[in-house]
Amino acid sequence: MEITAVESFPIKLPLESPVSFSNRTLTFRDHAITYVRTDEGHEGVGYSLGYEGAPLVAEAVESLLRPMLLGEDPRDTERLWHEMYDGTVQIGRTGLLLRAISTVDIALWDVKGKAAGEPLHRLLGGHSTSVPSYASGGYYRDEKGHEALRGEMRRYLDEGHDVVKMKVGRLSAAEEAERVAAVRDEIGDDRTLLLDANGVWESSTEALRNCRAFAPYDPYFIEEPVMIDRVETMATVNDAIDYPVATGELEGTRHNFARLVDSGAATILQPDVTVCGGITEWLKIANYAAAYDVQIAPHYNWNIHASLLGAIENGLWVEYFYRDMDVKAFDDVVADPVRPDDDGVIDLPDRPGHGVPLDTDALATYEWT
């Protein structure tokens, strides 16, 4: 089997109204979409969230990676990953180019699964056929007060979730503690509350002041209290509070994740397969973490992360966003998106490949030109 075509292009999905987290406001979501096609008629697709850089990710695939891939066997995922990574290491290693590699690697595994006639979770290990999810939200909008925040969380409980996540860090520590207290009051003491600061605090002093203000409301973890590169600061926070730090959504490669664990900066890892180097690298990260009994709770992209979590022994939860909350819009281009059942559990797709078929008409509608 040979790769005969590699195509990548950006899409731009508008949000109905601006949405904010601790340090940024968004009006749209963009993704780079990559297709890999073979001489035997198999087609695989991969993707990555662009954070306004999707055109650059797609250009990197077509200009830098495609020449390395044409004529190669798509099933040689390990070899091709190293050729892409090593071939761009002088200008890559993380960030934009690693996202480009991620889109290709995901597409290659999609081809591999289709050629083998196996769904991804079974091809990779078949640990389980369903995985738990949590409802992610609690974003900021101008008109959104405590009652609206409570209503959002009630909706998640009504959907069957016992685990919810909210954003923190945009307001003062006292104001944020009031928001967290409101959510804890709404969901009750027996449900699990997760917090996400998106790296907003610039020092351990500032992070600890906030995290300690949240402690009375029993959060299960605080995500990204400081930016990912401040590993020692993250470790100081993780050591000083009574609940764990989770991080990794912006991190790339197993080596950086090993540093997070080895330094004590993270108790829970959140690798994103569309960011860290694709499925090939995501599995190395998850298996390294398993050796230390570190749990994996991947960031975003529930359609593919559900299958990956179903392949490993140390999976915790899949992050899930409800489309009508107008925060994440990628399901608009997924032909058959996964969805939690009444207990917040996602059944894994049983179709060959990674099981995330995209709607070609929708892709055409939202292509960023």
CATH class of domain segment(s) 122-347 = alpha beta
Cβ-proximal residues to 324 (8 Å cutoff; 6+ apart), any chain: none
Could you say which DSSP state residue 294 is in?
-
- Distance from C-alpha of 201 to C-alpha of 176, rounded to nearest angstrom: 13
Q: Where are the domains of the chain?
A: 3-117+360-366, 122-347
pLDDT digits over 151-203, tens only? 999 999 999 999 999 999 999 999 999 999 999 999 999 999 999 999 999 99
Q: 118: how many CB neighbours lie within 10 A of its CB?
A: 17
- Binned at pLDDT 50, 70 and 90, residue 22 comes out as confident
What predicted TM-score, i.e. pTM, was given to this entire model? 0.97
Instruction: Quote helix, strand, coil % in the chain, to nearest 5.
Output: 40, 25, 35
Catalogue the active-site residues. Answer: 167, 299
Q: What confidence tier does 118 reach under pLDDT thresholds 50, 70, 90?
A: very high
- In this structure, are residues 238 and 265 in contact, taking their beta carbons and an 8 Å threshold? yes
Q: Which positions ≥6 away from 50 have C-beta within 8 Å?
A: 10, 30, 31, 32, 56, 57, 99
CATH number for the domain running over 3-117+360-366:
3.30.390.10
Count of CB atoms within 10 A of residue 25's CB? 13
Q: Distance between CA 212 and CA 340 in Å, rounded?
A: 33
Mean confidence (pLDDT) of the chain: 97
